[in-house]
Structure 1
Amino acid sequence: MWLRGRTVASLMVLTAVAAGAAVWGAVQTGLLLPDENVPVLSVDGDEPGNGLRQDELDKLNKTLDLIGGQYLLPIERKQLIDGALEGMVEALGDPYSVYLSSEEAAKFTDTTEGAFTGIGADLKKENDLIVVDAPLRGSPAERAGLQPHDVILMVNGESLQGLTLSEAVAKIRGPKGTKAKLKVLRAGAKAPLELELVRDRIPVETVKSELDSAGIGRLTITQFTANTPAETANELKAMEAKGLKALIVDVRNNPGGMTNSVQKIASLLIPQGKTIVQYEYRDGRRKAETSNGSEEGKPYPIFVLMNKSSASSAEILAGALKQSAGAVLVGETTFGKGTVQINNNDELGDGSLVKLTAYKWLLPDGTWIHHKGLTPDMTVVQPEYWLAYKLPRDRVLKRDDTGEDVKNLQLILEGVGVPADRKDGYFSDATERALKTFQSRERLPVTGQLDEKTADGLEEALYSELQKPENDTQLQAALEKARESIGKRE
């Protein structure tokens, strides 16, 4: 999606960026938790858990000695040890379990100033590839059209192949105003895409609200950090004081965050004693977290807006509101992440960090949505042009050209109200006429070709269109359901 990209999907590890003065800033690859009393299970036999056997320790020491005695190039001992630990965690095959050296961990703990500079995207490492989970709302990544499941191959001409997640993030992030030219592999595209982003300051504000004249409130939560519950409580209180009659909770493109944060927010809306979430440990035992809110809950109906980018804690909130507060879910099936990670910040003793998947989370009724997602009660998909991305600036698109960039141009033309005759990536006569119509409307040179000025104009026009609530199909569907509900009550 391009700017208000709400059909993008996924999870966490903020590339330089995001919101998360939560526990370890930019490397959130799963649900963030403070220290929890997670049961430690004894492990027998050949399973990990009892430290290295003498033969295993001997093998590692011999390998270290062989490298030191025979390897051609100089290498630091610490680099070898960090590599061994990183490889051990990667061997789990779990994209949400991560090892960071002390230097890498330190890079992602300076989150006290309330903002970051970067592109604003959540990343993870999957099958040795750097994969996009979700762009943050209003971020350069969102404006450029970066989408969930995109694979970032190169940044400013430098390959990301073979890099650790933190090394890739370090290359993608950068000072405000600098450019990040990404080469991106996208499923369905015939060739890699070239996207140019301008890094910017990414604030950590996670909650905003608005109330319309009919008494319908919209509470938008972009991520769950330590401050989000207090912000949510303040916004709810303000709307209720002005006569809130129905509430829309918008968690589209919300990649998740701290589970204790989402539990506090759920308690604001769910009646006391009702289940918010269940946690299941590896021995099969379960623990239910219940609401400590008011006994009667809220007097107004609740609707939840969600999409493919709603993940993790966002899914916990949506599922809890549906099953324990009678909320109606509107939008698309969510991402489907049903595991919880624990940060081990101090256990290794040198500032390095291990984040490990420790247990599952389940809906109040015990359903595990991992890799399945949460299904909406009312499915609403945004128009295709919500998935448009930045147009090329390094070449002119003209009649008879073909490819993904032409297809993207045709989507944008539709979004700005001058559709071509096709959206298959062939620059036809009708595509040329549509482009001329746009150029004439915007008082640009009427060439029928896509040059830099026309690309700028198209992107600005689409941005403007996507900011209009009437063009947000999912929001309009939720508003209509809210109005119907208010009508039945009055």
Structure 2
Amino acid sequence: MPEEPKDPQVTPAAKTDDAGQNPHLKSKKNRPKRRVGLWTYIISIIVALGVGIGGTYWFLGRAVTQEINNMQQTSAAMKKIQSVYSTISENYYKPVNANKLANGAINGMVSSLGDKFSEYMDKSETESLNDTIDSSFSGIGAQVQKSGSYIQIISPIAGTPAKKAGLKPKDIIKKVNGKSIAGLTLTEAVNKMRGKVGTTVKLEIERGGKTFNVTLKRAKIPVTTVNYKMVGGSKKIGYITVSTFSTNTAKEFKTALKALDKKGAKKLIIDMRGNPGGLMTAALKMASIFLKDGKTIMQVQTRGAAAEKYVAGKKYDGGFKETKPTTVLIDGGSASAAEIFSAALQQSGNAKLVGSQSYGKGTVQTVTSFSDKTEMKITIAKWLTPNGTWINKKGLTPNVKASEPSYANLTVISSVKNLTAGNVNDNVKTLQEYLKALGYFDGKVNGYFGTTTTSAIKQYQKHAKITVTGKMDKNTLTKMETELATKITDNDRAYNAALKLMEK
């Protein structure tokens, strides 16, 4: 395995290779070590040598004073925390659990950062996160983050229940199995969505101001994160999809490249759409393959330090290089490590990005492990693109813009109960949009189930070769959703644009 890069100004207890939601290197210390500041060393030197020359002495003296003030403030803060802890323990009207108090204090400190990517995790939450790193878990298959009081989907993973159910980036999850998740931590909400393979979970989703319910059957989330095939006919184009950046992704990616080479691929399309990111090391290894040695892959900037460049070379790619013309597909669900890879190829490898604006996650997280099997995930740095741009909350801009058709973002119809003649509601409006996208409704999309809607349903049922009633039932809805999904795939504008670009 290539030597891991050394992150600037990060202690052994906070070392990381993670630019996404998932940790890779974790401290085995019982508690994080306090970083020994530069001025601590300067204080020792001054005491030992007893020197101070002119302005330099004044400058160092001021810095020493600041360091002492910081230490005093820290000491005062810790004393206050201890005082509150003792007061509650000794005076609360009923017995309190010491661990619960400690965890509450830790959660409060981490929450005060106002950073949705930093959190303290208990034992079960830690196990859940570690499963995610290895891509060996069961659930709905969506990368999520905190958004206000609720949970927002960053991206559903290809081939998972979330993707098949039509969930989209930026969908807000408000309830799980009928219970609000308002106020829950990210991992608490995720644990409610996970469960045994084959069991179901009901989610209440908000999209574009509309709310709908969807029931998903939990599944084993694919361990394989890379898939590939030949496309483009005689043009011999290799097409690779990468769903996440997990432990084995870089290895799978290299295998895919070698297999496509044997098949005679002359050009490559790499699909990073819907990829929520993951391990930074995987992104470094994969991007290095496409860049000349010495070219910048990314930059990492910790607090108060100059940005450190990570450059392509044998330590990441093992000497394996790919020189075929390459295009990368991105969208609003491409985040974190997916953006690192895409930016590296765009800015240092002259590859073109095709699709829509990426998500925009430009921070690096580390995980510190504690002896009680809990962990703390905390943001410790910014990552920058090769040219020094911080894309946080902005995303990458594609060279060729090609967004999905409008009907690709339609909400899911959760039930046919209120899809009856004479009703007026949002579900009827969505049904009309379904029918319009499929070419069977030419009336006004107003949410009223009238004769025009009934007529359109009859036309569709005749086309689908099912009993013609003009009424909505589960079978008709399932057929309609399947056909709409196929149409979305067949009208993949970004893919078609990339294919056209590669066929030149």
With the length of structure 2 as denominator, give the TM-score of the two structures. Answer: 0.82
Equivalent position amino acid for 1:157 in 2: G
Alpha-carbon spacing, 1:67–1:150, altered in 2? closer, same or farther (3 Å): farther
Deviations 1:154-205 (A, max 9, x none): 111222122222221221111222221112233332xx32222221221121
Alpha-carbon separation, structure 1, partners of 2:464 and 2:287 = 47
Tell me which residue corresponds to 1:203: 222
State the alpha-carbon separation in 2 of the partners of residues 412 and 28 from structure 1: 38
What SS class does the counterpart of residue 481 from structure 2 fall into?
helix
324-333 vs 102-111, which deviates more?
102-111
Post-superposition offset of 1:259: 0.8
Matches within 5 A, 1:136-147: 136-147=157-168
In structure 2, the partner of 1:193 is 212
- Amino acid in structure 1 at the alignment position of 2:21: G
Partner of 2:47: none
2: CA distance between counterparts of 1:257 and 1:48?
Answer: 39
Partners of 2:361 and 2:313 lie apart in 1 by 25
After TM superposition, the structure 1 stretch with the greater mean CA deviation from structure 2, 152-161 or 61-70, is 61-70
- Name whichever of 172-181 and 145-154 sits farther off: 145-154
Q: Please, which runs of 5 or more residues in structure 2 have no aligned partner?
A: 1-14, 28-32, 40-64
Measured in 1, the distance between the counterparts of 2:404 and 2:382 equals: 31
Map residues 86-485 of structure 1 onto 2, 5 A cutoff.
86-110=107-131, 115-189=136-210, 192-212=211-231, 213=233, 214-292=235-313, 298-345=322-369, 348-393=370-415, 395-467=417-489, 470-484=490-504
- State the 1:73 CA deviation: 5.5
Is 2:20–2:279's contact at 8 Å kept on the other side of the alignment? no
Contact 2:212 2:414 in 1 (8 A): no
Aligned equivalent of 1:13: none
Deviations 1:256-315 (A, max 9, x none): 111111111011112222111111121131111111269996443211111000011111
Using a 3 Å threshold, how does the CA distance of structure 1 residues 47 and 457 change in structure 2: closer, same or farther?
farther
Whether contact under 8 Å (1:318, 1:329) holds in the other structure is: yes
Q: Residues 272 and 296 of structure 1 are in contact (CA less than 8 Å); yes or no, is this contact kept in structure 2?
A: no
Deviations 1:81-136 (A, max 9, x none): 11110111010000011111234323443569863221111122233322222211
Tell me the amino acid that sits aligned with residue 451 of structure 1: D
CA 1:34 to 1:453, structure 2 compared with 1: closer, same or farther past 3 Å?
same
- Distance (Å, rounded) in 1 between the aligned partners of 2:179 and 2:67: 41
Structure 2 residue 84 is the aligned partner of structure 1 residue 60: no
Does residue 80 of structure 1 match 2:101?
Answer: yes
User: 1-side partners of 2:127 and 2:261: how far apart?
Assistant: 42
Q: Take 2:442 and 2:402, find their aligned partners in 1: how far apart are those partners?
A: 24
Match of 2:4 in 1: none
Q: Is this contact kept in 1: 2:433–2:445, CA < 8 A?
A: yes
| Native 8 Å contact 1:176 1:201 kept in 2 | yes
Change (3 A) 1:218 1:414: farther
For 2:305 and 2:393, how far apart are their aligned partners in 1?
19
Superposed CA RMSD: 3.1
Distance in 2, Cα, partners of 1:456 & 1:47: 68
Which structure shows the higher helix fraction? 2
The question of whether the paired residues in 2 share the 8 Å contact of 1:30 and 1:339 is answered with no
Counterpart of 2:21? 30
AA partner of residue 306 (structure 1): I
* CA distance 1:166–1:208, shift in 2 (3 Å): same
Q: Tell me, in whole angstroms, the C-alpha distance in 1 between the residues paired with 2:186 and 2:422.
A: 41
State the distance in 1 between where 2:69 and 2:75 align.
14
Do the aligned residues in 1 keep the contact of 2:125 with 2:191 (CA within 8 Å)?
Answer: no
Aligned residues between the structures: 453
Query: Is the alpha carbon distance of 1:60 and 1:35 closer, same or farther for their aligned partners in structure 2, counting shifts above 3 Å?
Result: closer
Give the share of equivalent positions with the same residue, in percent.
35
Q: Which has the larger radius of gyration?
A: 2
- The answer (yes or no) to whether the contact 1:323–1:364 under 8 Å persists in 2 is yes
Q: What SS class does the counterpart of residue 332 from structure 2 fall into?
A: coil
Instruction: Assess, with a 3 A threshold, how the Cα gap between structure 1 residues 288 and 395 changes in structure 2: closer, same or farther.
Output: same
Contact kept, 8 Å, 2:283 with 2:337, in 1: the verdict is yes
Residue 249 of structure 1: how far off its partner (Å)? 0.7
CA contact (8 A) 1:117 1:199 kept: yes
Q: When the two structures are superposed, what TM-score results if normalisation uses the length of structure 1?
A: 0.84
Flag the 1:54–1:476 CA change in 2: closer, same or farther, 3 A: closer
SS at match of 1:269: coil
